[in-house]
Amino acid sequence: MNPAAICVFGEVLFDHFPDGRRVLGGAPFNVAWHLQAFGLAPRFVSRVGADAEGEAVLAAMRDWGMDTRFVQVDPQRPTGRVSVRIAGNEPSYDIVADCAYDAIEPPGANLPAAGLLYHGSLALRSAVSRAALDTLLRATPPARIFLDVNLRAPWWETESIRAMIHRADWLKLNRDELDTLYPGHSDNRAQASRFLAENGLQGLVLTFGAGGAHAITAGGGDCQVRPAQTVDVVDTVGAGDAFASVMILGLTRDWPLAQTLERAQQFASRIVGRRGATVHERDFYRPLLDAWETTAT
């Protein structure tokens, strides 16, 4: 097992905005995209349709230098699609059902075990994709699992989400999601600590949008971060995915928790100044890479 190897499992789709723009996205894809720019060369396991948007996904990945070997092509289902609406700088989503990422198949023995596997919850709304991830985890178990919860109604069930959390090592979710899954607590810090302990997690990252984030670990780590007041917000689509990508980078690089959290917030604050969740200019990443002394390949 390569402790630096990253596997990302889940959806890739196109976000369709009210002004007619179409932006490549999906939380796992966004995370993989950023990790590629940060030099981690993730293996992305997903599925697209045999259509023009599926071809566009693969072309964008190749142009970005990403490994496309584990992106399957579905002959029947379309590439994922979400209609995004923005109200008060906050996105809402109309997620199309029965897309290609709902039918991900096990990638097979040619996918080596990773040091860390990231997945969200949306692609696991489907029993087929859930089974594929279960097979992957049994065949090539990673050293750590990083779960990014995304509770998108009506595409989740409490029992399924709790099962994902129980087998995860690191968990990222926002305050509303924590309140939904673990209600009855007025103190977010105590609530997060109890939730971490009850689920046997190594670490938990609780995000508050414009209020920043709070991270705790089973070893006693506890720190908070807030964005600078000067952040210009264009839209918040993909901000959480940007945050998650740097948390993964920090875990892979063994950065201290407070430093990782600060850098994750720094990157998320840069992303919200752009329209859409992914950036196609490598110069966007260069100042951060230079400041963090991380070498991109």
pLDDT per residue as tens digits for the range 287-296: 998 999 755 4
Q: Is residue 289 part of a domain?
A: no
Q: In the prediction, which pLDDT does 58 show?
A: 98
Is 31's pLDDT higher than 60? yes
In a domain, 135, yes or no: yes
The overall average pLDDT reported for the chain is 90
Structure confidence at residue 231 as a pLDDT band (50, 70, 90): low
- Residue numbers of the domain that contains 104: 2-284
Burial (CB < 10 A; 0-12, 13-18, 19+), residue 54, is buried
Q: Is the pLDDT of residue 230 over 70?
A: no
What's the total number of domains in the chain? 1
Residue 292 lies in a domain: no
Write out the DSSP string of 129-160.
HHHHHHHHHHHS--SEEEEE----TTS--HHH
Query: What CATH number does the domain containing 184 carry?
Result: 3.40.1190.20
Q: Output the pLDDT for position 297.
A: 44
Please report the beta strands in the chain, taking only residues with DSSP state E, as ranges in sequence order.
2-9, 13-16, 22-25, 43-49, 71-74, 80-87, 90-95, 114-120, 144-148, 170-174, 203-207, 213-217, 222-225
> What pLDDT sits at residue 277?
64
Token pair listed for 210: 């414009």
The arithmetic mean of pLDDT across residues 258-283, rounded, is: 84
Q: Label residue 110 exposed, middle or buried (CB < 10 Å: 0-12, 13-18, 19+).
A: exposed
Residue 4 confidence (pLDDT): 74
User: Considering the domain boundaries, does residue 121 fall inside one?
Assistant: yes
Residue 56: strand, helix, or coil: helix
Percentage of residues of the chain with pLDDT beyond 70? 92
Predicted confidence band of residue 105 (pLDDT cuts 50, 70, 90): very high
Confidence band, pLDDT 50/70/90 cuts, at residue 121: very high
290 is a domain residue: no
| Collapsed DSSP state (helix, strand, coil) of residue 77 | coil
pLDDT tens-digit profile of 65-80?
Answer: 999 999 999 999 999 9
Is 48 within the bounds of a domain? yes
How far apart CA 67 and CA 58 sit, in angstroms, is: 9
Say how far apart CA 229 and CA 282 lie, in whole Å.
Answer: 26
| pLDDT reported for residue 264 | 96
pLDDT in tens, 166-203: 999 999 999 999 999 998 777 888 899 999 999 999 99
What pLDDT score was predicted for residue 27? 95
Percent of the chain beyond pLDDT 90? 70
**22 band by pLDDT with thresholds 50, 70 and 90:** confident
User: Higher pLDDT residue, 196 or 231?
Assistant: 196
Task: Decide if 178 is inside a domain.
Answer: yes
Residue 250 banded pLDDT, cuts 50, 70, 90: very high
What's the rounded Cα separation, in Å, for the pair 236 and 269? 9
With cut-offs at 50, 70 and 90, classify the pLDDT of residue 235: low
Q: Is residue 220 in some structural domain?
A: yes
- Report cis status (omega within 30 of 0) of the bond before 154: yes
